[in-house]
C-alpha cells in the first residue's frame, strides 16, 4: 500500500551553464495519483527553473527514495523519482528564476496549497535547473506530495 505523504530532496553542485534534473514518474499501472503540494528550490547562484511534463527518458538516472512524512509508518511510495538521467521532449508548463541564496519565497517556491498539481498514472514531471551564474554553486530541489487512490 502506498498511501501517505512523502518528501524527496536532492542537492547538487552545478557548474556555470550546467544543469541538474529530478524526474518524478507515476507508472501507468499505478493505482495512485500524486498530489504535489510543494516544490522548493534553493541555489547559491542565479538559476533558471523549468518544469516539463511527459518527457521522454533517453537514459535512466539514479533512483531516489521518497521518504514517508509519517515517520512511524513503513509505507513506501509507488512514485518513481530519479536524478542524473538524460531526457528529451516534453511540454514546459512552468518557468522561473531562483535568485542567489534565496530559498523561499522570492521566486524559489511553487506552493500549491490552493490547487494541487496532480500527477496521474502514466505521466511524469521533469524539474530542471540551469546555473546562470559565473561559478559553480550548490542547488537543492525539494518535492512534497501526497499519494491518493486514483
Total domains, the chain:
1
Per the CB < 8 A criterion, the answer to whether 83 and 49 are in contact is: no
Question: Residue 34: its pLDDT value, please?
Answer: 95
CATH of the domain at 11: 2.60.120
Global confidence as pTM: 0.90
pLDDT tens across 68-102, in order?
999 888 889 999 999 999 999 999 988 888 888 76
Expressed as residue numbers, the domain containing 20 is: 4-149
pLDDT over 70 percentage in the chain: 89
Q: Which three cell numbers stand for residue 42?
A: 534553493
HEC string for 129-141: EEECCCCCEEEEE
Question: Residue 87: its pLDDT value, please?
Answer: 98
Q: Cell numbers 521533469 label which residue?
A: 126
- Within 10 A of 43 (CB to CB), how many other CB atoms are there? 27
pLDDT tens across 31-78, in order?
999 999 888 888 889 999 999 999 999 999 999 999 999 988 888 999
Amino acid at each position: 500500500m502506498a498511501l501517505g505523504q512523502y518528501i524527496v530532496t536532492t542537492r547538487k553542485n552545478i557548474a556555470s551553464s550546467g544543469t541538474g534534473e529530478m524526474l518524478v514518474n507515476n507508472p501507468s499501472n499505478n493505482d495512485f495519483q500524486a498530489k504535489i503540494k510543494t516544490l522548493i528550490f534553493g541555489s547559491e547562484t542565479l538559476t533558471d527553473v523549468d518544469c516539463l511534463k511527459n518527457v521522454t527518458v533517453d537514459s535512466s538516472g539514479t533512483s531516489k527514495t521518497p521518504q514517508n512524512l509519517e515517520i512511524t509508518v513503513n509505507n513506501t511510495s509507488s512514485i518513481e523519482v530519479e536524478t542524473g538521467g538524460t531526457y528529451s521532449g516534453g511540454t514546459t508548463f512552468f518557468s522561473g528564476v531562483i535568485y542567489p541564496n534565496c530559498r523561499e519565497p522570492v521566486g524559489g517556491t511553487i506552493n500549491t496549497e490552493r490547487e494541487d498539481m496532480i500527477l496521474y498514472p502514466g505521466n511524469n514531471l521533469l524539474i530542471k535547473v540551469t546555473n546562470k551564474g559565473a561559478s559553480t554553486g550548490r542547488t537543492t530541489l525539494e518535492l512534497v506530495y501526497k499519494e491518493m487512490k486514483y
